[in-house]
Amino acid sequence: MFTYIKCGEDAYLCCTLFIYMPNELFEQLDFVENPLFESIISDLLEKQYSIVDGFFTLEEVSLLRHSLLAKYEADRFKKSAIGNRTNEEIIKEIRGDFILWIDESRIHENEAEQLFFKKINELVDYLNRTCFMGILQKEFHYAVYPTGTFYKRHLDTFQNDDRRKLSVVCYLNEDNWKKEFGEELTLYTEEAEIDLLPLPGRVVIFESQVLEHEVKVVKSSERLSITGWLKTR
Ligand code: OGA
Ligand code: MN
């Protein structure tokens, strides 16, 4: 980056001070506190999970739901797996959802996925800037749980791989979703079992390596979501 400087040591120093330092300072001054993200951080510090209602507006949820359903109806979803297990009978007793991974490098033609990653990336940048979380990777998939399916109590980390730091679940159910449909997300904290309804626009974030959780049986209709993980490298 100093190839244009021909006047030796002094000019080099000059350059670091007046070009690079101000950039760094500017980055600091540029920082605007975000109350929503701050509340997520304090929730995570305090109780290892955070529930954010309205993280996505109902309009955004509707766009995302249409994107999900178009791909689901085009038969692009696959039966979910568990770690490296392939025995379908065993898997069926543990989880029954169908998933489709979202490739962030191929979202330019999908308005819904663009707005999704814009918001998620804002959160990731904020976490990295304020908490030095070192999130360098993400993975997100659409999920559909048909009637009668569930995901038994589990942790979101794999053996020999602890890169998943935060689990992020975004619910895309219809506006008229009813709690009689069941399908709660239950978080098992040290103190209690917390049942969370998969309300449209709600996002639940929790520590992947710590919090065991479960998706209760879907009693009616289909349960729609995007689930993902913020990971260190
Ligand atoms: C998962 C999961 C929770 C939910 O996909 O690992 O636990 O509420 N999802 O969908
Ligand atoms: Mn999980």
| Contact 67 CB / ligand 1 (< 6 Å) | no
* Ligand in closest contact with the CA of 81: 1
Residue-wise DSSP of the chain: --TT--SHHHHHHHHIIIIIHHHHHHHHHT----HHHHHHHHHHHHHSEEEETTSS-HHHHHHHHHHHHHHHHTT--EE--BTTB--HHHHHHHB--EEEE--GGG-TT-HHHHHHHHHHHHHHHHHHHHH-----EEEEEEEEE-TT--EEEE-S-BTTB--EEEEEEEE---TT--GGGB--EEEE-SS-EEEE---TT-EEEEETTT-EEEE--B-SS-EEEEEEEEE--
Q: Which protein residue has the closest C-alpha to ligand 1 atom 5?
A: 227
Residue 25 has pLDDT above 80, yes or no: no
| Contact 49 CB / ligand 1 (< 6 Å) | no
Residue 198 has pLDDT above 50, yes or no: yes
Percent of the chain residues past pLDDT 70, beyond the cut: 86
| Contact 185 CB / ligand 1 (< 6 Å) | yes
Q: Which domains does the chain have, with CATH numbers?
A: 35-231 (2.60.120.620)
- Tens-digit pLDDT profile for residues 153-162: 999 998 788 9
Residue 50 has pLDDT above 60, yes or no: yes
| Contact 169 CB / ligand 1 (< 6 Å) | yes
Lowest mean pLDDT among 52-56, 149-153, 155-159: 155-159
**Residue 30 pLDDT:** 78
Average pLDDT over residues 167-178: 96
Mean pLDDT of the residues in the chain: 88
The one-letter amino acid code at 36 reads L
Q: Which protein residue has the closest C-alpha to ligand 1 atom 1?
A: 227
Average pLDDT over residues 146-168: 94
- pLDDT band of residue 8 (cuts 50, 70, 90) is very low
Q: 30 or 153: which carries more pLDDT confidence?
A: 153
Cβ atoms of 207 and 97 within 8 Å: the answer is: no
- Tens-digit pLDDT profile for residues 81-122: 887 556 777 788 899 999 999 999 999 999 999 999 999 999
Q: Which protein residue has the closest C-alpha to ligand 1 atom 8?
A: 185
| Contact 151 CB / ligand 1 (< 6 Å) | yes
Residue 149 has pLDDT above 80, yes or no: yes
| CA of 5 relative to ligand 1 center, distance in Å | 55
Q: Which residues surround ligand 2, an ion (CB under 5 A)?
A: 156
Average pLDDT over residues 191-208: 97
| Contact 184 CB / ligand 1 (< 6 Å) | no
- pLDDT band of residue 15 (cuts 50, 70, 90) is very low
**Residue 214 pLDDT:** 98
**Residue 120 pLDDT:** 98
Q: 92 or 222: which carries more pLDDT confidence?
A: 222
pTM, two decimals, is 0.87
| CA of 206 relative to ligand 1 center, distance in Å | 11
142, 145, 156, best to mutate for ligand 1 pocket (most atoms within 8 Å of CB):
156
**Residue 31 pLDDT:** 87
- CA 225/CA 231 separation, integer angstroms: 19
